[in-house]
Amino acid sequence: MAARTGKEYLERLSASRPTVHIQGETLTGGIQDHPAFRNVVRTYAELYDLQHSDAHKDVLTYTSPTSGEPVGTSFLTPKTADDLVKRRKAYKVWADHSNGMLGRTGDYMNSSLMALASAADWFAQADPAFGENIRRYYEKVREEDLLCTHTLIPPQVNRAVAGTQQASGKLAARIVKEDDNGVVIHGARMLATIAPFADEMLVFPSTVLRGTPEDKPYSYAFAIPNDTPGLRYVAREPLDYDRPRHDHPLGSRFEESDCVVVFDNVHVPYERCFALGDAELCNGFYSQTSSVVHMTHQVVTRTTAKTEYILGLVSLLTEAIGIEQFQHVQEDIAEIIATLEMLRAFLRAAEADAEVNEYGVLTPAWAPLNAARNLYPKLYQRFPQILRKLGASGLMATPTELDITGPAAADIEAYLQSATLTGPERVKLFRLVWDTCISAFSSRQALYEYYFFGDPVRMAGAYVKSYDREPYKAKVQDFLNQHSLERS
């Protein structure tokens, strides 16, 4: 099987039977037709169709080393600089399709699986079977072009204690039984984005494990089908209100569901396990395999596309209402431009300074990507603020598509026109600005970006601890010593 079409993605989804609780309803299938999911599901189908378009297929696919068929570029193991560039270009095509609003497109986890499979020897340290398992699983996902999501953290109950200690350790998903064929998982995890319409659930390590006997049941990494018996999802309220695209131009296309994942004695076969009971292996899962680097390469490409969208949107807004000549407006626009160019520079530096890791994979430089992932969660928060400030009360004058074609049409044409747009055109633009900075969809985007890689405060602490500052301390100390010698 090769890179999927949108039709093939929808056909597989229609045959899937995940258990999803949403707004008092329990679904066991039919995801592709449910109002909460059908629009975003079709957007995902469009991404798969892009793999077969004349304009993008050469960037979005490459030849499988096993089947000879075209498969997704995000599975490509980079060996050359051209490979890294191709991967980034492929990320960008998909990101541009959603203006960077889709945070869990398949290329994100595909990049992780590529790095993990290349580092199969890392997993084989605990058991040679684990190395073979991750390699075979990566090939399965690649050849079937499966859509994977993942879940990482324990339920947020009492943050004063570790997730493994909440409710005496009975809430967080854990290994409760082991048999000849695998392990049984019981408990819950957060927070699986796109879970209802993904093909596979990757259950990967997150918080640092201490390696004590108490941590052993929480030390694991595995993958299971989305409709595995005992697996169920509790979805948040959908932010797609099944309204016309004119009225909710983003929410009606790009609303990715977020779910709590419940494991009700879920059996996981050994062949789908990549780590079991080994805290050290789990703690090194991302860093020692370069997985986090390749995932971040995808993320920074996506946020670049998102920032390009914000710049284009704010530029249309300021032109429409004739405010771009004001210096405080130019200052805000300059902030967005600077963020965009910074992201581009980080990507360029990461690729230019790429090195081959111990597993033979050409890996982008981590320092610029790590800087980007620490900065962007906070920088993005400014974009909705800027749009709200510049749109001002105009963001309240946003009648619907039915109003534009209804009895209010003449009033909208007369009183809601702008310096460069007709009344209907201005309303359409301001609906897009509104859905980017004020709507529930936009608030979820801001929260999502802020916590994408975890708590920014904890990330900052880890960033400081991991950064080698000794050369800079030594430089300053040399300067101080030189000053003292001159005085003596």
- Name the region of 174 (left: φ>0; alpha: ψ -120 to 50; beta: rest): beta
Q: Using CA atoms in the order 227, 233, 239, 245, what is the torsion angle rounded to 10 degrees?
A: 0
CA-nearest of 3, 16, 17, 133 to 63 is: 3
Q: How many whole angstroms separate alpha carbon 311 and alpha carbon 317?
A: 10
- For 16-33, give one letter per residue: b (16+ CB within 10 A) or e: bebbbebeeeebebebbe
**Unique residue bearing structure tokens 């890791």:** 357
**Unique residue bearing structure tokens 């339920």:** 155
Task: Provide the annotated binding site.
Answer: 104-108, 150-152, 156-159, 193, 206-207, 455-458
Amino acid at 418: S
CB 187 within 8 A of CB 171: yes
**3-state percent breakdown (helix, strand, coil) of the chain, nearest 5:** 55, 15, 30
Cα dist from 130 to 26, 44, 127, 137, 248, whole Å: 35, 31, 6, 10, 46
Task: Provide the annotated binding site for FAD.
Answer: 150-152, 156-159, 193, 455-458
User: Residue 258 phi/psi, 5° resolution?
Assistant: -115, 135
What are the residues whose beta carbons fall under 8 Å from the beta carbon of 257, sequence distance 6 or more? 22, 36, 37, 40, 193, 194, 195, 196, 197, 235, 236, 238
Tokens of 75: 């599975």
Task: Provide the annotated binding site for substrate.
Answer: 104-108, 150, 206-207
Q: How many whole angstroms separate alpha carbon 341 and alpha carbon 336?
A: 9
Strand 273-276 vs strand 355-356: parallel, antiparallel, or unpaired?
unpaired
Cα dist from 252 to 139, 162, 268, whole Å: 34, 38, 36
Q: How many C-beta atoms lie closer than 10 Å to residue 452's C-beta?
A: 17
Alpha helices in 380-422 (DSSP H): 382-391, 401-404, 409-415
Q: How many whole angstroms separate alpha carbon 400 and alpha carbon 432?
A: 12
Q: How many C-beta atoms lie closer than 10 Å to residue 122's C-beta?
A: 23
Strand 148-151 vs strand 200-203: parallel, antiparallel, or unpaired?
parallel
CA-nearest of 235, 231, 129, 140 to 186 is: 231
